[in-house]
Structure 1
């Protein structure tokens, strides 16, 4: 069979993958904190017809120049599917538990069993709980006053011990941030500090939101629900509270309350890429059609 037919098939498979990625980007154009995907291609191994030769000197003293290799390509393949972690636009919501990050940091979420999370002490060991990371900052309060996401996962921070007779003090461990039920109001500062006004009108601190920052955020694995899972290629693992950063430190940027980060998908760019992928797919189908016509002519030689 003709090599061009198999090259066309490989091209069709690659453009199908690209169309799948573009379709997912467009579907998530209004998903908070979503980061778009991108497909890159690379050529397959080429079949060598003649190898390269260097200059040679003949028996009569004449020098012959070198020859380049002659190779026939065997098609294309998907090189990578990248996650582009560029900043998305900010949408103002004026909701105090909606948080937007202006920088490279990510919120850390934790979930686990009763043996892993101490709900009374508001603390847990990051080595034992299941952790994930997100840029979607739409958070809520559960029945205990802890800050959670829409799946009930706890927002990781540094909780403060509530002191009725004096200022609250930091616990110096990772845990959930809880706002008392009798709090009159609460707010979140740009550095991640969660403060509230108690029943006596005294301002106090409930905790400090911590952020994770990775050397290679594209190495994180998407697990759905606007969340990412840690992989060994993302950078240093998160093992304790000291590995996390405060907002504004270590390149994490500032935290903006009352706003959400939108998807970084550009519809104009996505539709342009979709048209290009469609035409590329169409061109590869034409290669198969032309190759089939050539094979038909070969079969007709017997007549």
Structure 2
């Protein structure tokens, strides 16, 4: 069979994956904190028809024939990588005190308990190595029945509590009002009209944020290639010292009353979609042409 037919099939598969990625980007154009994907291609191993040869020397050491370059036939393309692009998204003002946007590279830290170790919001402190941690750029947070700050899925936002430990930040039920500062400090006015501190939202930063794995719900999961920016062991978050204060180490300041939008550019996405569509059509034409050549070969005996 013709090699061009299999090359066309590999090209169709690659452009189909690219169209799937572009479609997902466009579907999440209004998703808070979403980071777009990008597909890159690489060529497959080429079949060598003739190998390269160096110059041939005669008896006296002079070249009697020059070198020959290799002759190779490519066998198609394949997906090189599907990257997550962690560029800053546009900021949308909401004027809601529990909506937070990050102007920098940091990420909010979320936690949910495991069957073996739940989260006691009364004690507030949380052992980070005993809970499931995830990370997000979507700062649309809420208060649950206990007054704890959670995300839309009920995962707890982790930071420094009023007891100085890593854990869940809880605003008392009798608080008259509250506000969140640019460094993540959560202030509230108690029932006596006095200003008090409920805690401080901390951030995590990664040397390779593209190494994080998407798990849905605007959240990312830690992998061995993410490179946690931590004062402790690489790839681990064990205690409060491993989390950064907003503005420290390039994590960025928090902006209350605003949300970070998706970093998807519709104009760019539509352009890439057209290119991928034409590439897919061109590869189908390769298969059609190869089929016509095979038909001519079959009909040679007529």
Which residue does the alignment assign to 1:227?
219
CA positional deviation for 1:118: 2.5
Does residue 269 of the first structure (1) align with residue 268 of the second (2)?
yes
Q: Which moved more, 1:50-59 or 1:259-268?
A: 50-59
Deviation of the 1:209 alpha carbon: 0.4
1:12 and 1:33 mapped to 2: Cα distance? 31
TM-score (norm 2): 0.95
Which of 126, 133, 136 lines up with 2:138 in the alignment? 136
Which deviates further from its counterpart, 148-157 or 232-241?
232-241
Q: Is the 8 A contact 2:114 2:130 kept in 1?
A: no
Structure 2 gap segments, 5+ residues each = 229-235
The alpha-carbon deviation at position 113 of structure 1 amounts to 4.0
The answer for the alignment partner of 2:237 in structure 1 is 238
Give distance in 1, aligned partners of 2:62 and 2:130.
76
Deviates most, 199-208 or 232-241: 232-241
Note the C-alpha offset of 1:61.
5.5
Q: Which residue of 2 aligns with 1:167?
A: none
Separation in 2, partners of 1:116, 1:137: 23
1:255 match: 254
Aligned residue for 1:42, secondary structure, equals: strand
Q: Deviations over 1:114-134 (max 9, x none)?
A: 734222211111101001000
Aligned twin of 1:155: 157
| Distance (Å, rounded) in 1 between the aligned partners of 2:61 and 2:225 | 57
Runs of 4+ more than 6 Å apart: none
1:59, distance to aligned residue in structure 2 (A): 4.1
Give the SS at the match of 2:160.
Answer: strand
Specify the alignment match of 1:51 in structure 2. 51
Contact 1:116 1:125 in 2 (8 A): no
Unpaired stretches in structure 1, ≥5 consecutive residues? 161-170
Per-residue CA shift, 1:147-195, capped at 9, x if unaligned?
A: 00011100001110xxxxxxxxxx3321000001111100000000000
* Maintained 8 Å contact 2:84/2:210: yes
Name the SS for the 1:107 alignment partner: strand
SS in 2 for 1:255: strand
Name the residue aligned to 2:67.
66
State how far apart, in whole Å, the 2-side matches of 1:209 and 1:61 are: 76
Aligned length: 293
Q: CA RMSD in A?
A: 1.1
**Map 1:84-123 → 2, pairs under 5 A:** 84-113=85-114, 115-123=117-125
